[in-house]
Structure 1
């Protein structure tokens, strides 16, 4: 009897277990480019606005930085487009809104300056009846062409010229070139006055150990006018900060002279080595009005002549009404001349 042995099962027909799926490792999320937080830009914008608004209260105890900030105050407006550009790059709505603060403060401080406030745009003798046209210029001791500078000044046809930083070599040149237009003049040290009207009571104003200021009375047809020519001490920006001590002392001395001036009409012309907003010059500017601020067009920057960034030359008045104020083209000096028409 035949018997059949069953072959052992190979398992070919048995179900094969399905292996568990292998989970792929998660891909790292790309890190977005790092951007400065909008809050930081907003904070910088608000700080800029605060500095502009409180410029008169910034202390001078540390390196006279308060005076330096006020000297360059008009240029703080450049912070607005810079911050706005950064806000756009970082797509920060908060920063963009915060930039409105310095923009509004700057516009409040200087918006009126950008308009033409002149009441009389004629420039020169007789531009407006019963008026006096004055011109001030730091002619620069190193001026390579004093004769050309003198001719340019005479061409402006002002009634009174105040020149500062005259030298022993250049003074005779100015006297010769201006003689035809200005029959009356007086020079003391490095400052001088030239006038179409007779000058009397000429005297030095002691503001420094050497002569840097003078006064005279111009006998105009409308009455006497006390005219000052002044050149305050220079300032420097150095490692010691904004050095202004000698200038500030000279400003106080000039202020005392103006305060003691008995004439009802006073014109102070010259290089003040500081701007009208610099509170260190407040002893002078608090007594007088700036022709540029009241009747000028724009900032009227005067220094340096090639690319002026500050107005340190000015026409300051008392007892007269500024009708126009302007800056003349550059001469051979490192300063630009300034002129103004004043109504009696």
Structure 2
């Protein structure tokens, strides 16, 4: 029997080829795009809450609050990752939820991304944790001297390394004082030099009055105790926190109007444990720097634990220097000792 071929009357021409699997995979369909990615949306909201209410995370268990605040800016690094995941999941709700952590992060740290440096200033200061295990103290000292700083603070000095630093810096800085493991070198005369008790049992902080051409300022140098992250104890920072409290009290009692704190505080300005210090001083990097100014570790800096903090003095610019033989980067700032702020050089 002969069979006839009948063309579908509803088809004007050859049937269109089906959409490829790849096209179907990435096509955003109305049904389901609001239901997909709920987990991603929840993660995004949770991150926004951490950023917004980080101070509410208690320190009672393992100092988790301080640990989070030490690396708080890095929470923003997860936003691009979550965005890619949301696109792959074709999740509208996840993409909308990501606006929360993005907006919160920008409100907290967006100002740091702008270039706030300005010209002027009459005093350049530098601080550097030179590392007790530094194999090239002479090279480190030469790098410090070449920075052009007027006042230099060094931390983690060992008795065996002090002569090398003193010899290499002598021609640039005629005035200096070493107190325990911290020291101050200056182009200008030093007065009232004394150690500062930060409740350690040995000297890791000092204070001196520097008499510049524009007035007298009090300069503090400090190296707060190290912190550790331990599996069984969390973020161990009790010693650091006690020292921060003692240092904050010493600075609060300082009668000189213009005050500069130079040193390794083993914490960031976001860390609530440093509030006894940061509540009465401001960061030169935050006020006059560009970016976060991370200083540690030197090979791939992830946190700024080396600080230049000021009270009664205006920062003009702040920056980090090239690596030396230390695991910390040197940090420097140009300061303006405003008339009527620093004590007059003529005062007793």
TM surpasses 0.5: yes
Larger Rg: 1
2 CA distance for matches of 1:48 and 1:219?
48
1:334 maps to what in 2? 327
How big is the shift at 1:94? 0.8
Q: 263, 286, 290: which one pairs with 2:256?
A: 263
CA RMSD of aligned residues (A): 1.4
Deviations 1:109-155 (A, max 9, x none): 111101110112xxxxxxx36x1110000000000100000000000
TM-score normalised to the size of structure 2? 0.86
Query: Could you tell me which of 167, 182, 186 is aligned with 1:176?
Result: 167
Structure 1 residue 86 displacement after superposition: 1.2
Moved more, 68-77 or 56-65: 56-65
Residues 144-223 of structure 1 aligned to structure 2 (within 5 Å): 144-207=135-198, 208-223=200-215
Contact 2:115 2:289 in 1 (8 A): yes
TM-superposition CA deviations, 1:64-85 (whole Å, max 9, x none): 1100100001100012011111
Aligned to 1:102: 101
From 272, 277, 290, the equivalent of 1:284 is 277
Provide the aligned length of Structure 1 versus Structure 2: 304
Structure 1 stretches of 4+ moved >3 Å: none
CA deviations 1:30-78 (Å, max 9, x no partner) are xx99x99411211111111010011122211121110010000110001
Q: Which residue of 2 aligns with 1:317?
A: 310
Work out the CA distance in 2 between the residues paired with 1:288 and 1:209: 26
Q: Which residue of 2 aligns with 1:70?
A: 69
CA distance in 2, matches of 1:332, 1:141: 10
Output one character per residue of 1:132-179: Cα deviation in whole Å (capped at 9) or x when no partner.
110000000000100000000000011100000000111100000000
- State the alpha-carbon separation in 2 of the partners of residues 261 and 37 from structure 1: 59
Structure 1 position 232 matched with structure 2 position 231: no
Q: In structure 1, which of residues 132, 147, 150 is the aligned counterpart of residue 123 of structure 2?
A: 132
Structure 2: which 5+ runs fail to align? 1-23, 26-32, 338-348
Taking the aligned partners of 1:188 and 1:111, their CA distance within structure 2 comes to 39
What residue is the counterpart of 1:21 in the other structure? none
Q: CA offsets, 1:201-231, max 9 Å, x none? A: 0000001211000000101111111001000
